[in-house]
Amino acid sequence: MRRSQFLTIMAVLLVPGMLVLLAPRAWADSSGVPAEVPSDTAEAPVPALTGACTVTKIKFSTGENTTLPTTSTTFVAMPNMSVAFTMGGLVPSCVKVEFSAYVFASTSALAPSGELMFVRARLDGVTVGSPSEVQLDGDSDEDGDGKWARSHAFNFAFTNVTPGLHTITIQWRTLSGGSVFVHRRSMFVHYR
């Protein structure tokens, strides 16, 4: 291949990419808020929870059953998603919770465009893990035929967990009171 052919091919390949890079951005600034969103409606940034600890033990719970529903708009315990463990050591440390499931959020008269399912991890019925609440599913059934759940996963962190006996429970709720369903699921608690 001659040098002029090579340069022509490279120009054809690179110019469209450069145009994309030089095109005006839809973002107002580095906050990630689109320019068309008024700044007075944007959320203030929330500091991230960060840390490090050593976890050496794992306890887990799994559930094989399917089609377990809730219509609760307040958090309730998810069936078979609770783990008791004894935190070792002499000083507080952190705990990591891994949760995964295949779930379904339906459409209903209460949520005609699709229900939303929210999940959180709670320590000893008091302390909520970080992040505090996550949307695990919403509008699973885009075409309204009532089929096909989806698999989802999320991790939660707890800091300053004191030595001794503790229990972590996965809780869930709906937004509008329509039905959401959990199927096979697992929860792994990593601790010291």
Same domain, 31 and 61: no
Quick check: 129 and 122 in contact, CB under 8 A? yes
In a domain, 142, yes or no: yes
In a domain, 64, yes or no: yes
Same domain, 63 and 153: yes
Quick check: 137 and 114 in contact, CB under 8 A? no
> Phi/psi at 165 (nearest 5 deg)?
-80, 135
| Residue with token string 């991230």 | 48
User: Which of residues 93 and 6 earns the better pLDDT score?
Assistant: 93
Same domain, 72 and 155: yes
**Tally of residues, the chain:** 192
pLDDT tens-digit profile of 68-112? Answer: 999 999 999 999 999 999 999 999 999 999 999 988 887 777 777
Quick check: 182 and 64 in contact, CB under 8 A? no
pLDDT range class, residue 49, cuts 50, 70, 90: confident
Q: What is the mean pLDDT of residues 35-61?
A: 75
Same domain, 80 and 170: yes
Same domain, 185 and 122: yes
pLDDT tens-digit profile of 133-191? Answer: 999 876 665 666 666 788 889 999 999 999 999 999 999 999 989 889 999 999 999 99
**Number of structural domains found in the chain:** 2
Residues 6+ positions from 165 with CB-CB distance below 8 Å: 84, 85, 86, 87
Lowest mean pLDDT: which of 5-9, 54-58, 60-64, 99-103? 5-9
Residues 6+ positions from 126 with CB-CB distance below 8 Å: none
